[in-house]
Structure 1
Amino acid sequence: MSLKLDTLQAALERLVGDRITQLVRARGELTLVVKAADYAGVAKLLREHADLSFEQLIDLCGMDYSGYKDGAHEGPRFAAVSHLLSVKHNWRLRLRVFAASDDFPVLSSVSAIWAGANWFEREAFDLYGIVFDGHEDLRRILTDYGFIGHPMRRDFPVSGHVEMRYDPEQKRVIYQPVSIETREVTPRIIREDNYGGLH
């Protein structure tokens, strides 16, 4: 396995070159980190170059690194992480790219390179608010169209902003501010001397 990783790492260093921000080898896997400006070009290279041939996108997900490892992460907050597979060479690669702005995270869409990225990018947009420039149909996929915010962001309130319910009088679904009162759940501690028949 390490010979295969050595070959892949050498090919990445040779072909991607100075566009590599970071190339990490841990637990028998390689993680390639590139800048947002280089993302689309590197993705196209990873797919099309014969020495790499990552023809399959297995997964793409959004990430919010605020508070990551108890604040140990320094740098941009939002990233897209892709898992790629080369059937031809039988190797895998993790590709990570951080959005330049935390206030309005934008990355290039790779759905023209890997068609499977379409729904994954919509999910990352819906849950994290990452905008994928060039995506042909970027809209919510898991939450309701009227949903406010992005629920997987670490600063999203646990109870949300809006709740919906069916109103039998109006005979339709209505939206209203969240009516759940937050409460602290404190575990009950039993301090009986003879609890459970133990003496």
Structure 2
Amino acid sequence: MTENKNGKVPSHTQKITFGNGCFWCTEAIFQALKGVIAVTSGYMGGKVLNPTYEQVCTGATGHAEVIELEYDADVLSLDELLLVFFKTHNPTTLNRQGNDVGTQYRSAIFYTTDEQKQASEAMIKTLTDAKVFDSPIVTEIALASEFYKAENYHQNYFNDNPNNSYCAFVIQPKLNKFAKEFTDKIKPELL
């Protein structure tokens, strides 16, 4: 277990899994968030055991590219985490995020507790009532199933490949937008 900034092991550690497009992008955003202890890229929501990246990319396995988040609920509330989730991808496009098309890029929240399910549904209602998006939110809310960790080269992708053109032209602009809107939520060492 990782210690928090006070040198203590968090007492209210929770996990939730998000599908919000390419996990390279979403991993980088959530790694920067105060209260997030660990982010692991992987696959969830499909029907094939131990899928590979190549299999998931076909769309035939039913899995979504996801990030499994471990977070300190004393530092980061579930509502704050959900707001970052919804504001850092397009939850109104079915099976698509930008140029990435297919069921593997669907918007999804895989919850582990009833509280997470209810909070996710409530956040969708709040955002819908406030007309934050021009189109209806199509985010799937489902009970977490088997999580399959992605291959090692997918882990910590942005940080390990800063000169990669995808990182520079796709991920970095998303991080910049995130940093502008959520400055007070970013880990101080990243500012």
**Shorter-chain TM-score category?**
under 0.3
Higher relative contact order (CA 8 A, sep 6+): 2
Say which structure is richer in helix: 2
Query: Which structure is larger by alpha-carbon Rg, 1 or 2?
Result: 1
Say which structure is richer in strand: 1
* TM, length-normalised to structure 1: 0.27
